[in-house]
Chains A and B, each alone.
Chain A
Amino acid sequence: MAVVAHATPFARAARFEASPAAADSRLVKWLIIGISLTFFTCFLLLPLVAVFVEAFKKGWEAYLRAIVEPDTMSAVRLTLLAAAIAVPLNVIFGIAASWAIAKHDFRGKQFLITLIDLPFSVSPVVAGLIYVLVFGAQGWFGPYLLDHNIRIIFAVPGIVLATIFVTVPFVARELIPLMQAQGRDEEEAALVLGASGWTTFARVTLPNIKWGLLYGVILCNARAMGEFGAVSVVSGHIRGQTNTMPLHVEILYNEYQFAAAFAVASLLALLALVTLVLKTVVEWRAGIQAQEPEAP
């Protein structure tokens, strides 16, 4: 998934097709393309199209009404808030972790990388559950929080925490391989020339990792705004208060307000499309940046 990995230009296909040894017969070629595209259409393209078709089934006016409805707007605000807290925190974590891991040697490095990946392999439902066990009424801090009238579970802080948990690895796992590949020479040179640690980071490291960082931020943000399972466990589903956009989609859908559910869902689908476009642009820019040193 790393930026560097598949920034390869598309010119490769031509080379494979030009070689008589590696080229497949026309029949095989179109058969494979046909099967691939049928699979792609049934499982990826049509679901995306269906979101927009269903959203506009009752016309523009119904669509707009579903979007400007107060509960929808409050869900949009909560989703933006959760992402606005989770993404910057995970950026700081990602930069710190990749600096420690890529620019220094220590024992147990591989183990630390595995721990950072952990939230990816934990079910979102379990991710929500653990915060209920820690902060819920019966949880570790439950009595204390109750005494001090602080609500975390079934309130906004729980939603933010769950969002942070599921997005922890995104920035770190883009930056670690990138910074490892870039080595330490440039930073060491800057230090020898008298730059301070912070200056070295800001002037040398940051420009080198900016596309990888942006890539991680884009993916992190998409997941933060779209998370459903973890947030669903800690939210309590209070309309207008603890509903994020994905949770609001579920509520509308379960109330058989299909057009409204798909209208809100279409906003999230639009976010997904913007994410994919930005991601492609960043890959393209990063690809150009990565190829520069190869020029003779």
Chain B
Amino acid sequence: MGVAKVRRVLPGFGLSMGVTISYLSLIVLIPLTAVFFKSATLGWTEFWHVATAPRVMASYRLSFGASLIAAAINVVFGLMLAWSLVRYNFPGRRIVDALVDLPFALPTAVAGIALTALYAPNGWLGGFLEPLGIKVAFTPLGVLVALIFIGVPFIVRTVQPVLEDLDIEFEEAAASLGASRLQTIRKVVLPALAPALLTGFALAFARAVGEYGSVIFIAGNMPMVSEITPLIIITKLEQYDYAGATAVAAVMLVVSFILLLIINALQAWSARSSERTR
């Protein structure tokens, strides 16, 4: 009697795994290690000097700050949008639902010049804001607008399915036990949505930090004021400062890895909690 060893029933494991690992290594993993090898040639002091230069620090503050604010704004309005799409009937809902994914489908350069045209002082929306003393295009506020655009679908598309699956009985039970509508929303609905909202927030934030195409047109790109970190990398590359560009890229890459791990943990939590409320 042989020990019950798990046997692979379906064929093709070797082939499919081989293709997966080789492709991933050649296209993604090995080239990514180049960033760390190149940074290492700088030496620690020089690396630190480049990665924390005042102009680079200013770009971190802008990139991370604007990404945080944009993701937070998207949590509020994205939740309202998802709520409207799931809970209410209104004319044009299907079109709105389909267009929520526009930032995934529209090339970022196109989004960039469109937002600039819209929020420039002579644009449709910029023309309204200019008399109020609000300048959007070519200021840090422009960076924020572009990052909000990029982040919308991340929040809506993570919250929407959870909201759809959220059983109505929870709210009915809360109401029958005497909770006001506001209490029900705060104590029953929002806690159930919290993991999805946080996941959406993290996804939008991670995307916004690295975003380039939609930002550079509207930002004005003034050093120390409206220059994002990816643009610093491009500028250094154009000056043939490969080591400097790589040092800044290494910082961004480390941040991306950390964000990816956080997002994975959040998604696992989100999946567990939506199992529970189903």
Binding site for B on A (CB under 8 A): 1, 5-6, 8, 10, 12-17, 19-22, 24-25, 29, 32-33, 35-37, 39-40, 42-48, 50-51, 54, 89, 92-93, 95-97, 99-101, 103-106, 110, 112, 114-126, 129-134, 136, 138-140, 161, 164-165, 168, 184, 187-188, 191, 197, 200-201, 219, 222-223, 225-229, 232-233, 245-247, 249-250, 253, 258, 261-262, 265, 268-269, 271-273, 275-277, 279-280
Contact = CB atoms under 8 A, between A and B. Distances in A.
For the complex of A and B, the 3 pairs showing the least CB-CB separation, nearest first, are A123-B210, A226-B107, A228-B213
B113 A262 contact: yes
Contact of B210 (A105, A117, A121, A201): A121
A105 to B, nearest CB: 7
A268 B112 CA distance: 13
Contacts of A36: 77, 80-81, 83-84
B92 to A, nearest CB: 8
B152 interface: yes
B28 A134 contact: no
Interface string B247-278: 00100110011011101100000000000000
A78 to B, nearest CB: 14
Contacts of B84: 32-33, 36-37
B176 to A, nearest CB: 7
Contact of B38 (A133, A247, A268): A133
A122 B35 CA distance: 12
Nearest to A25: B181
A233 to B, nearest CB: 7
Interface residues of B, number: 102
Contacts of B117: 50, 54, 258, 262
Contact of A44 (B34, B87, B152, B217): B152
Contacts of A246: 107-110, 213
B194 interface: no
22 contacts: A33-B90, A46-B124, A47-B149, A48-B114, A93-B24, A96-B15, A96-B23, A103-B13, A121-B260, A124-B213, A126-B210, A126-B256, A129-B35, A136-B242, A138-B242, A140-B34, A201-B12, A226-B105, A229-B213, A233-B234, A253-B217, A277-B98
Contacts of A89: 23
A19 B24 contact: no
